[in-house]
Chains A and B, each alone.
Chain A
Amino acid sequence: MIVIQGSNMAEAHPVGFQWVMEAKRRGAKVFHVDPRFTRTSALADSYLPIRAGTDIALLGGVVRYILDNELDFREYVVSYTNAATIVTEDYRDTEDLHGLFSGFKEENASYDQTSWRYEGQGQNVPPRDTETQRETAAGLEHESHGAPVNGQTQRDETLQHPRCVYQILKRHYARYTPEMVERVCGIPQEKFLELAEAWTRNSGRDRTGMLVYSVGWTQHSVGVQYIRTGAIIQLLLGNVGRPGGGVMALRGHASIQGSTDIPTLFNLLPGYLPMPHHADHPTLDEWVDSIRHPGQKGFWGNARTYGVNLLKAYWGDAATADNDYCYGYMPRMTGDHGTYQQVLDMIDGKIKGYFLLGQNPAVGSAHGRAQRLGMANLDWLVVRDLFMIESATFWQNGPEIETGEIVPEECRTEVFFLPAASHVEKEGSFTQTQRLLQWREKAVEPPGDARSELWFFYHLGRIIRERLATSTRPRDRALLDLNWNYPTHGPHAEPSAESVLYEINGYEVASGRPLSSFTEMKDDGSTAGGCWIYTGVYEDGVNQAARRKPAGEQSLVALEWGWAWPANRRILYNRASADPDGNPWSERKKYVWWDPQKAEWTGYDVPDFEKGKPPSYRPPVDSSGVAGIAGDDPFILQGDGKGWLYAPTGVLDGPMPTHYEPVESPVRNPLYRQQANPTRKVYTHPINTLNPSPPEPHSEVFPYVFTVSRLTEHHTAGGMSRMVRPLAELQPEMFVEVSPELAVERGLDHLGWAYLVTTRAAIEARVLVTDRLTPLRIEDRIIHQVWLPYHFGFEGLVTGESANDLFGISLDPNVLIQESKVGTCDVRAGRRPRGQELLELLVDYRRRSGDLGPHYPPQVTTDVADSGRDREV
């Protein structure tokens, strides 16, 4: 059983999809849920069309189906999840509060999470208030470990206690019936039941099911909760930590997983350590305690070690116990410093310089016009890329030239274009979507002035440090003390990528010996390591990521191909592939188990558990850290060792996922008075106008739902595909897919032109009339959805208008990802107006939708009582 939802795997991850087809050949049933029928749907056993932005309603329906029919994998659920854990009396559900949870504070639209806690969890108050956590995207820190809870919880393993998680979950999803799924998502009830039936049938000792998603799930104002709902189903059915199970995130870029692990993100340091916050983390001790949560169970108890090793890797000899390992050098966050905040600050003239490193926000980020106007208001911009992309030429060729919003002679931005080396012209590692690092050898020298980012940043750092060499200013110490000694080679003095990998891996300071595991790290400055979760990739001084033992010469798990973090484990939490006593759940699903003779865990993979800890181990009362994890607690990085059906802390928009409508939706939320995610991140900047949605009036001005995704032949913003001849030839033009019914309604001709309008932009595209899109019946009306590829821009061999120009900026509160998979628009036949007329068109739409000024929908709509209907428009 494989469920693919929020992903067009056959077209966006084609070579990965071969394994879905292998599974299908061996009898697995494949389901595809998507607003549009794609090649993935064509190859699936069953396809469910869905209204974009309603996946939680569908998945919540599956949760209800499981619980109402008691189809959960009970042994797994009782032992390995928090189903039995009891929650405080103070907790109130969205059922009681019209779509809000208890603790909602209207003044800053965030939750006080105190009432969500486990009974007896004590005064383990989150270290930062929820608003600060939203501003700093604190949810991202949990990628490698759970949110804080301490260990001493109360449980009812009969699952009957009215306040145990199992019963709370049951009440929370009680109204997510097949009828409701049909009303919200437009999915016929028999289709829904077919999915729910197949998913639950493939559960238990002998069977597993897998869930696959991609950015069709993440790019929403409730994106994190989409994935949580999938995780809840997979935990209830016993599909986590077992072969053929799991929640598979298909990531979109060669090393996007690596870019989160070793982040270039404002709020994270390598290994998911938080960037220090000025108020919460003034000292090293406070920073460390906020990560390890004294009293908490699990591996995160060693946070001090991971933090000290990073500081030691950064500042080398200068970092000593006496100066808190140079912790004081770290810059501090005061709030949201994310990419969208930055763009608005550029428009407001607050930012001087901007580096773009293989990234094309003029096409690839939401609200393209805001991106381009921001870049047009800088002192300087450095673009490093293979090709002349839109983000380098916006001042010359952008759509704002035609409207007069950017005039080259008046645009002050100084632009440096520096050519970059391609993937074959440098060596280094990518981390692919399963946390697997693969090393690339260098094939040839880069042409002309082209250089790697490694070269650029190493030499930029070198020049800056030389300039400051005689400085005595305190602010320059962090640069001057920086451990910046990498050997270089070749005609261009290229720094050695392996020497950087060695530092990432970590080493013993005195001997230089590479560490083989993060358990060898010390918190006394005697070891240094740049990213604790990557320790082991350079074990024994061997580049483990470069291993390429042919698949045919090793086991199916292929442990000798590349290296996966942590510790070369291929399936995380694989202790759960054995039963509580440590025996395989079944011969068929055997993977990792306890060997009583040898008194150790063994199996086909590297066990994700302390090797010698027996299944019978029970922690002493009041133990914490690793010792607090029992021998049958597989989720070793969670504060209570359990998989979380209910998140007592750490997920900012609620302990359980709830269906909210997208920020822009033509439909009133049929489930609650609360329309959209009340805690979403809102930017009230004049450029960020939003289309009205119910219960506000005038949503009929933008009656259609649009969604965007990828073509096989192009890649994201097109910077690596629209400039490549064979790819450009295969997909030469921007287009919009519409259903035959919508074509009739709007007078659109197949292969003719249409334009789409939002309050931000109007873009035109060729029309493809196709029954890949189906009008959906939502309550008593028909909702039309249209689909566009988002790869096109105004440079390259093939050009077209950019779908991302249509979006406004609304973000998920947990990780600050933008809602760029769903919005509302109007669709009109013909070419769009040009120049001044285009601006007038947008003004006209804003006037007709009720507001000429910038428009922001209300965060909270629980006082509007007409739940379920959209009558006021």
Chain B
Amino acid sequence: MGVRRWVESWPLYRQLTGTDPLGRGAAAKSAGSLSLTARTETADSMARSVCPYCAVGCAQRVFVKDGQVTQIEGDPDSPISRGRLCPKGAASKSLVTSPFRQTTVRYRRPYSTQWEDLDLDTAMNMIADRVLAARDETWEDVDDAGRPLNRTLGISSLGGATLDNEENYLIKKLFTAMGALQIENQARI
């Protein structure tokens, strides 16, 4: 490599003499960076999504390779966010791929000092048992004047404003049919 070639390989030299005075494009490139490909280009698929944090509703593009989320970026098509994401939205790939996520059911018996494992089907059936029992034990048919109540005050629920409209719809529908009134949401809080 001649001296000239050697000097030209310095990003700073190219930044000062070339067409990229801010050093954010051509000047910053190297042989190594030229050989890289963006994860967005090699993805198998891309899903159009929305940031799960605040209610601005920034649009996201979720890139997937081999069944794994490899990148989440702001969607430049959005008239709301124009491709931008704040630190939370930008961290949402770390959120969904976090090694700290719980991916199995955990169970704590009454008076126990530790968690145990539990099979999902078993958990679902145990929860159904408890819901039905709590409902039966606390059922109220009518009030003192004989007017209908059709309800249980033995069951409560709270959450979450990161649920989908379709989810909230089914939650309210099932609980209402069950007579469970005490259904609340972050939207109160």
Contacts and interface: CB of A to CB of B under 8 A. Distances in A.
A332 B45 contact: no
A811 to B, nearest CB: 9
B142 to A, nearest CB: 9
A419 B162 contact: no
Interface string A271-282: 000010011001
A428 B185 contact: no
A328 interface: yes
Nearest to A562: B57
A201 interface: no
- Residue from B76, B143, B173 having most chain A Cβ neighbours under 10 A: B173
A264 B172 contact: yes
B167 A452 contact: yes
A433 B45 CA distance: 29
Interface string B88-130: 1111101110101111111111111111001010011111101
B16 to A, nearest CB: 31
B159 A355 contact: yes
B172 A262 contact: yes
Contacts of A451: 120
A-B pairs with the 6 shortest C-beta distances?
A358-B160, A432-B57, A428-B164, A448-B103, A357-B159, A359-B159
Contacts of A365: 189
B159 A264 contact: yes
A382 B88 contact: no
Contacts of B176: 269, 314, 330-331, 478
B26 interface: no
Interface string A685-709: 0000000000000000000000000
Q: How large is the interface on A (under 10, 10 to 19, 20 to 34, 35 or more residues)?
A: 35 or more
A461 B126 CA distance: 13
A820 to B, nearest CB: 8
Contacts of A392: 106
Contacts of B34: none
A430 B57 contact: yes
Contacts of B128: 460, 463-464, 467
B47 A441 contact: yes
A18 interface: yes
B35 interface: no
Interface string B29-67: 000000000000000010111111111111100101001
Contact of A329 (B54, B91, B150): B150
A413 B107 CA distance: 11
B131 interface: yes
A259 B186 contact: yes
A380 interface: yes
B61 to A, nearest CB: 9
Interface stretch (A54-62, A160-168, A496-504, A734-742): A496-504
B2 interface: no
Nearest to A332: B149
B1 interface: no
Interface stretch (A73-81, A577-585, A658-666, A713-721): A713-721
Given A351-B154, A396-B114, A410-B111, 17 more contacts: A15-B80, A256-B186, A264-B168, A264-B183, A279-B143, A314-B173, A332-B150, A338-B188, A339-B158, A424-B47, A430-B50, A431-B165, A438-B59, A454-B164, A458-B170, A504-B166, A554-B79
Contacts of B113: 396, 408-409
B30 to A, nearest CB: 26
B54 A715 contact: yes
Interface string A345-365: 110001111111111010011
A713 B151 contact: no
Given A416-B126, A460-B127, A385 B134 contact: no
7 contacts: A14-B86, A258-B164, A278-B148, A331-B180, A337-B181, A353-B154, A365-B189
A447 B108 contact: no
- Residue from A261, A356, A449 having most chain B Cβ neighbours under 10 A: A449
B54 A504 contact: no
Given A416-B127, A720-B95, A457 B171 contact: yes
- Residue from A264, A337, A386, A460 having most chain B Cβ neighbours under 10 A: A264
A701 B132 CA distance: 49
Contacts of A463: 124-125, 128
A444 B69 contact: yes
B170 to A, nearest CB: 5
Nearest to A477: B177
B68 interface: yes
A350 B54 contact: no
A107 B170 CA distance: 41
Given A12-B54, A328-B148, A443-B49, A419 B104 contact: yes
Contact of A263 (B45, B85, B172): B172
Interface in B5-34: none
A500 B181 contact: no
Contact of A353 (B89, B155, B160): B155
A387 B160 CA distance: 14
Interface string A134-152: 0001000000000000000
B interface secondary structure, majority: mixed
Interface in A402-417: 408-417
B68 A444 contact: yes
A282 B148 contact: yes
A418 B88 CA distance: 24
A67 B146 CA distance: 54
B134 A379 contact: yes
B29 to A, nearest CB: 26
B119 to A, nearest CB: 9
A530 B169 contact: yes
A380 B180 contact: no
Nearest to B51: A254
Contacts of A724: 91, 94-95, 98
- Residue from B67, B96, B118, B165 having most chain A Cβ neighbours under 10 A: B165
Given A440-B50, A720-B162, A265 B185 contact: yes
Given A382-B127, A725-B98, A500 B169 contact: yes
B51 to A, nearest CB: 7
Given A278-B148, A409-B113, A258 B168 contact: yes
Nearest to A249: B55
Contact of A278 (B53, B106, B143, B162): B143
Interface in B131-146: 131-134, 137-139, 141, 143, 145
Contact of B118 (A395, A416, A432): A416
A254 B159 contact: no
Nearest to A428: B164
B69 to A, nearest CB: 6
A232 interface: no
A461 B58 CA distance: 33
A259 B102 CA distance: 25
Contacts of A18: 82, 84
B167 A449 contact: no
B4 interface: no
B163 interface: yes
Contacts of A260: 185, 187
Given A256-B187, A260-B187, A338-B184, A453 B49 contact: no
B124 A459 contact: yes
B170 A253 contact: no
Contacts of A554: 79
A730 interface: yes
A799 to B, nearest CB: 13
A626 B140 CA distance: 40
A321 B167 CA distance: 29
A387 to B, nearest CB: 6
Given A419-B102, A441-B47, A724-B95, A356 B159 contact: yes
A417 B127 CA distance: 11
A173 interface: no
Given A266-B181, A414-B108, A433-B55, A548 B48 contact: yes
Contact of B165 (A278, A331, A418, A501): A501
A259 B164 CA distance: 8
